[in-house]
A and B are shown apart, each in its own frame.
Chain A
């Protein structure tokens, strides 16, 4: 007995000598994405601060893993670049966990290129970037992330990064506030400013906009209130566009809660009036009347004759405004419109003349027609340049314009009517309804593909065999050339469709993502989508899990 007791005691010591349980696999997976790059797709798993990049052209489907900074929040593709940008909020430190500064990580799709790190001084939670991906602005947005997690947060602090710099650096500053915070940022193209062509960023805040010179980010920003101090209306800028062809460029601001369009003409500041770090331009504000409740605007017209086209859903009309003289021309519409889609093409009346035109729609309204507006000589011909379509099967919920293919695709809201899509021929102005089981989402494949990919609503699209067992799910595609539709059967419900560009083997592919807590996708051939050439990758979040842990 003594021997047994001794042995038991020794064994107990052996067991009790163990340290507390290791928690490396305790953290839940927190997956963001997918994000489509040129020919690959990327996800970010936040718990392990890992970016997973999958090349569908690889002989063996496998996720490439790249470690990014701690607490990665926002994976986005850098515009016009085959590169991921991941905003990492860093680690503020805790026992056993070292502190890490916030940063912006740039991960090229090409694994031979290095990952770049741009340190940020602040735990921002939103990224905005210019259309060409050159300028990136990090700021604290109103919805992303947990703003209350920080002991001190300056929501008006921003960081500007010029990605084309040899070593990109973040220039931080705080924009002047009138009580609001940045809601979004719009970047201009090259503008003819007094000291030479440069680019601007316009930060939208409730009640005002802030203009920042991106080439000279340390210069004083210009804040333009949209209301007089005693005006208690709530005006929120929703869209900013730039007229860049003029000698004195103009910024147009569309705002909800206002019936006017705000025009900011950028005029030169005389050298004698400039301060040491002052701007070479200043905005001159004018307000352009545009009906009731302007909802969308666009610029058209030849150089030196810019015109602003505005649709106002509240008054069911469109306005063409001379940006210089503020003279406006009203066009009465048959149904309210809140979206403008500019395109240049022929029309049934002008079959040989490719001229600027606009398609006007009321997305999310009860409107059952779309309007075609010929913009050439619109101020003279006025109402005669308007053509209204025949009634649609149901009000539109979305519209995708494919100007190079002379087509637009409308998604319908019509529950129970069996029609989910209509294809508009922009040249003939005909509308072809397409049948669909459900209300689909439409995704365009990058050129030169002519396919539109159509995903069923979540929960729809399952195929049952004679016994009622689900044997697959369908995804459909439409060739815009001949409007022929086909389907491909896959093994799991489709969450997202990501048509990609051409890979190094000169073939394009389409990624279908499926619901799974550990990652599940299917790769289809983009040119000849077919089940026989499809293949899947499942569980890629588990890749090398034993070697790396979750945290």
Chain B
């Protein structure tokens, strides 16, 4: 089992225990969540299949994973049980692999996005939702060649944009209120989401290493790097999240 899954499940277990037993003053309330101010902060873990053959350069696995954090704010109530929320998030997807039996390829993807979601409280604790998101991905690629003749790593960085649509389920605990009132009412939620991302492909290059010293860098002969090709950023994804609700 991989790191993000363990993180998500571990965090969920911890948080559930914390909700029940963290403070002797804490008491569960069956009052509606509307008492809260409508801010959601979530730790997210995400998995997506490696559908692009080129991505095998950076990952030997068939599934990539990413971890991140997101925050959303309930901006509008729609009807009795509907809520419209907007938010921001960041998702970090790092992968490293050995290629050609000797060399190391790393791809560090930082995804920045904004979301808008509509959720509907079937029950106070059961809230299905739909979500759309848009953002950009910054990719930093490194090829470290395992050879004594190699001067340095081949690196390059790129941007791509993406849009997402997903369906999810938010399972929320009742509101927790502290008797002494030192904290605002809060709750926890567990999020399960499945969706699809469509993104512009990353056009990766292997640019030769350049010297850090400007004088040496200017003295070097002009060197052409090579285009590695494109990496698709369109895929389905599966997300788990643990959220703190205020």
Interface presence of A405 (CB below 8 A):
no
* Structural contact, B143 and A542, CB atoms closer than 8 A: yes
* CB within 8 Å: A-B pair count: 159
Q: Which residue of B lies closest to A472 (CB)?
A: B219
Q: In the complex where A8-B9, A25-B57, A538-B225 touch, is A546 in contact with B1 (Cβ < 8 A)?
A: no
* Structural contact, B223 and A538, CB atoms closer than 8 A: yes
A29 to B102, CA, bound (A): 9
* Structural contact, B149 and A493, CB atoms closer than 8 A: yes
A542 to B226, CA, bound (A): 7
B101 contact set on A, CB distance < 8 A: 26-28
Q: Which residue of B lies closest to A25 (CB)?
A: B99
Interface presence of B97 (CB below 8 A):
yes
A481 nearest CB across to chain B (Å) = 28
B146 contact set on A, CB distance < 8 A: 517
* Structural contact, B226 and A549, CB atoms closer than 8 A: no
A545 to B60, CA, bound (A): 15
* Structural contact, A28 and B100, CB atoms closer than 8 A: yes
Q: How many residues of B contact A (CB 8 A)?
A: 58
B162 nearest CB across to chain A (Å) = 18
Interface presence of A11 (CB below 8 A):
yes
Interface presence of A151 (CB below 8 A):
no
* Structural contact, B60 and A21, CB atoms closer than 8 A: yes
From B102, B143, B224, contact of A535 by CB (8 A): B224
Interface presence of B147 (CB below 8 A):
yes
Which residues of chain B from 209 to 229 have any CB-CB distance to chain A below 8 Å in the complex?
216, 219-229
* Structural contact, B47 and A11, CB atoms closer than 8 A: yes
Q: Which residue of A lies closest to B4 (CB)?
A: A11
Interface SS majority for chain B: mixed
A535 to B208, CA, bound (A): 13
Interface presence of B23 (CB below 8 A):
no
Chain A's interface size range is 35 or more
Q: Which residue of A lies closest to B242 (CB)?
A: A4
A257 nearest CB across to chain B (Å) = 42
B210 nearest CB across to chain A (Å) = 11
Which residues of chain B from 86 to 120 have any CB-CB distance to chain A below 8 Å in the complex?
97-103, 105
* Structural contact, B61 and A21, CB atoms closer than 8 A: yes
Q: Which residue of A lies closest to B146 (CB)?
A: A517
A548 nearest CB across to chain B (Å) = 8
* Structural contact, A535 and B221, CB atoms closer than 8 A: yes
Which residues of chain A from 15 to 31 have any CB-CB distance to chain B below 8 Å in the complex?
15, 18-19, 21-22, 24-29
From B62, B103, B238, contact of A11 by CB (8 A): B238
* Structural contact, A15 and B206, CB atoms closer than 8 A: no
A378 nearest CB across to chain B (Å) = 52
Q: Which residue of A lies closest to B143 (CB)?
A: A542
* Structural contact, B229 and A550, CB atoms closer than 8 A: no
* Structural contact, A4 and B224, CB atoms closer than 8 A: no
* Structural contact, B145 and A517, CB atoms closer than 8 A: yes
* Structural contact, B1 and A12, CB atoms closer than 8 A: yes
Which residues of chain B from 60 to 81 have any CB-CB distance to chain A below 8 Å in the complex?
60-63
Interface presence of A115 (CB below 8 A):
no
B102 contact set on A, CB distance < 8 A: 28, 517
Interface presence of B16 (CB below 8 A):
yes
Which residues of chain A from 271 to 298 have any CB-CB distance to chain B below 8 Å in the complex?
none
Interface presence of B5 (CB below 8 A):
yes
A21 to B61, CA, bound (A): 6
* Structural contact, A546 and B231, CB atoms closer than 8 A: yes
B11 nearest CB across to chain A (Å) = 10
A28 to B100, CA, bound (A): 4
Q: In the complex where A7-B190, A538-B224 touch, is A14 in contact with B57 (Cβ < 8 A)?
A: no
B213 nearest CB across to chain A (Å) = 9
Interface presence of A60 (CB below 8 A):
yes
A547 nearest CB across to chain B (Å) = 4
Interface centre among B60, B63, B226, B230 (most CB of A within 10 A): B226
* Structural contact, B54 and A546, CB atoms closer than 8 A: yes
A4 nearest CB across to chain B (Å) = 5
A92 to B226, CA, bound (A): 33
Interface presence of A537 (CB below 8 A):
yes
A24 to B100, CA, bound (A): 9
* Structural contact, A545 and B228, CB atoms closer than 8 A: yes
Interface presence of B139 (CB below 8 A):
no
Top 8 closest A-B pairs, CB basis? A546-B54, A546-B229, A18-B62, A515-B149, A28-B101, A547-B229, A25-B99, A538-B208
Can you name 10 A-B residue pairings with CB atoms under 8 Å?
A: A11-B240, A21-B62, A471-B216, A538-B225, A539-B225, A543-B226, A544-B228, A546-B55, A546-B228, A547-B54
